Chains A and B, each alone.
Chain A
Amino acid sequence: MTPVIALSLFGIINLFLGFTFKRQSLQVVTLLFIICSMALTAMDWNHEYLWFGDMMKTNNLSINFSLIIQLAGLLVVAFSNGFGKDEVYTQPAEYYAILLFSLVGALLMVSFQNLIMLFVGLEILSVAMYVLTGSDKRNLRSNEAALKYFLMGSFATGFLLFGIALVYGSTRSLYISGILYNLSHTAPESLPSFLYAGIILMGIGLLFKISAAPFHFWTPDVYEGAPTIFTMFMSTVVKTAGFAAIYHILDVTFGGFQKNWIITVYFITIITLILGNISAAYQQSAKRMLAFSSISHAGYMLLTVCANQPSTSSNILYYSLAYTLATAVSFAVLMVVAEYQTGRTEKPENFDALNGLAKNNPSLAFAFTVALLSLAGIPLTAGFWGKFFVFTDMFNKNLTYPIIIAVLMSAVGIYYYFKGIISVYFNSGEIEKIETSFLFKIALWSACIGTLVLGIYPTLLKSIF
Chain B
Amino acid sequence: MEVSNYWYFLSGLTLLSALMVVLSKNPIHSVLYLVFTFFCISGHYVLLNAQFLMAVNIIVYAGAIMVLFLFVIMMFDLKKNIPDSKTNLTKLAGTVVAGSVLVILVAAFRTIQYPTPDESTFNPNNGMVENLGKVLYSEYLLPFELVTVLFFVAMVGSVMLGKREVGDRNF
A and B in contact, CB less than 8 Å: yes
Interface residues of A (CB under 8 A from B): 4, 8, 11-12, 15, 51-53, 55-56, 90-91, 94, 97-98, 101-102, 104-105, 108, 114, 116-117, 120-121, 123-124, 127-128, 130-131, 134-135, 137, 169-170, 172, 190, 192-194, 197
- B143 contacts chain A at the CB level, 8 A cutoff: yes
Q: Chain A residues near B160 (CB, 8 Å)?
A: 91, 94, 98, 131, 135
Give chain B's interface residue range (CB within 8 Å of chain A).
20 to 34
Q: Chain B residues near A97 (CB, 8 Å)?
A: 156
- B2-44: contact bitstring with A at CB < 8 Å (1 yes, 0 no)? 0000000000000000000000000000000000000000000
Q: Chain B residues near A114 (CB, 8 Å)?
A: 143
- B69 contacts chain A at the CB level, 8 A cutoff: no
- B89 contacts chain A at the CB level, 8 A cutoff: no
Q: Chain B residues near A169 (CB, 8 Å)?
A: 115
Q: Are B154 and A127 in contact (CB under 8 A)?
A: yes
- B114 contacts chain A at the CB level, 8 A cutoff: yes
Q: Are A101 and B149 in contact (CB under 8 A)?
A: yes
Known contacts A127-B150, A170-B115, A193-B111: does B143 contact A120 (CB below 8 Å)?
Answer: yes
* Min CB–CB distance B60 → chain A (angstroms): 16
- B154-171: contact bitstring with A at CB < 8 Å (1 yes, 0 no)? 101110110101000000
Q: Which of B114, B142, B146, B157 contacts A98 (CB 8 A)?
A: B157
Q: Which of A11, A104, A130 contacts B157 (CB 8 A)?
A: A130
Instruction: Give the distance in Å from the alpha carbon of A56 to the alpha carbon of B141 in the complex.
Output: 12
Q: Are B161 and A131 in contact (CB under 8 A)?
A: yes
Instruction: Give the distance in Å from the alpha carbon of A116 to the alpha carbon of B150 in the complex.
Output: 14
Q: Which of B140, B143, B156, B165 contacts A90 (CB 8 A)?
A: B165
Chain A binding surface, main DSSP class: helix
Closest to A171 in B: B115
Instruction: Give the distance in Å from the alpha carbon of A114 to the alpha carbon of B142 in the complex.
Output: 11
Interface residues of B (CB under 8 A from A): 108, 111-115, 118, 139-143, 146-147, 149-150, 152-154, 156-158, 160-161, 163, 165
Instruction: Give the distance in Å from the alpha carbon of A282 to the alpha carbon of B113 in the complex.
Output: 50
Q: Are B141 and A134 in contact (CB under 8 A)?
A: no
Q: Chain A residues near B153 (CB, 8 Å)?
A: 98, 101-102, 124, 127-128, 131
Q: Which of B113, B140, B141, B152 contacts A192 (CB 8 A)?
A: B113
Q: Are A108 and B113 in contact (CB under 8 A)?
A: no
Q: Which of A51, A108, A194 contacts B112 (CB 8 A)?
A: A194
Q: Which of A53, A55, A94, A104 contacts B149 (CB 8 A)?
A: A104
Closest to A119 in B: B143
Instruction: Give the distance in Å from the alpha carbon of A102 to the alpha carbon of B149 in the complex.
Output: 9
Q: Which 10 A-B pairs have the closest CB atoms?
A: A131-B157, A52-B142, A55-B142, A124-B150, A94-B160, A128-B153, A116-B143, A120-B143, A101-B153, A127-B153
* Min CB–CB distance A448 → chain B (angstroms): 32
A and B contact pairs by CB, cutoff 8 A, 7 listed:
A91-B160, A94-B156, A130-B157, A131-B156, A170-B115, A192-B113, A193-B113
Q: Are B143 and A117 in contact (CB under 8 A)?
A: yes
Q: Are A116 and B156 in contact (CB under 8 A)?
A: no
Q: Are B165 and A137 in contact (CB under 8 A)?
A: yes
Q: Chain B residues near A4 (CB, 8 Å)?
A: 146
Q: Are A192 and B150 in contact (CB under 8 A)?
A: no
Q: Which of A104, A128, A134, A193 contacts B108 (CB 8 A)?
A: A193
Q: Are A52 and B115 in contact (CB under 8 A)?
A: no
Instruction: Give the distance in Å from the alpha carbon of A446 to the alpha carbon of B142 in the complex.
Output: 37
Instruction: Give the distance in Å from the alpha carbon of A172 to the alpha carbon of B123 in the complex.
Output: 13
Q: Are B140 and A172 in contact (CB under 8 A)?
A: no
Instruction: Give the distance in Å from the alpha carbon of A4 to the alpha carbon of B147 in the complex.
Output: 13
* Min CB–CB distance B127 → chain A (angstroms): 15
Instruction: Give the distance in Å from the alpha carbon of A23 to the alpha carbon of B160 in the complex.
Output: 16
Given contacts A135-B161, A137-B161, 10 further A-B contacts (CB under 8 A): A91-B163, A97-B156, A102-B153, A123-B150, A127-B150, A130-B157, A131-B156, A135-B160, A172-B118, A194-B112
Q: Are B149 and A8 in contact (CB under 8 A)?
A: yes
Q: Are B149 and A105 in contact (CB under 8 A)?
A: yes
Q: Which of A56, A101, A121, A190 contacts B152 (CB 8 A)?
A: A101
* Min CB–CB distance B87 → chain A (angstroms): 22
Q: Chain A residues near B139 (CB, 8 Å)?
A: 53
Instruction: Give the distance in Å from the alpha carbon of A12 to the alpha carbon of B154 in the complex.
Output: 14
Q: Are B150 and A120 in contact (CB under 8 A)?
A: yes
Q: Are B156 and A120 in contact (CB under 8 A)?
A: no
Q: Are A192 and B156 in contact (CB under 8 A)?
A: no
Q: Are A120 and B113 in contact (CB under 8 A)?
A: no
Q: Chain A residues near B142 (CB, 8 Å)?
A: 51-52, 55-56, 117
Q: Chain B residues near A192 (CB, 8 Å)?
A: 112-115
Closest to A95 in B: B160
* Min CB–CB distance B105 → chain A (angstroms): 11
Instruction: Give the distance in Å from the alpha carbon of A330 to the alpha carbon of B80 in the complex.
Output: 51
Q: Chain A residues near B152 (CB, 8 Å)?
A: 11-12, 101
Instruction: Give the distance in Å from the alpha carbon of A192 to the alpha carbon of B108 in the complex.
Output: 11
Q: Are B154 and A52 in contact (CB under 8 A)?
A: no
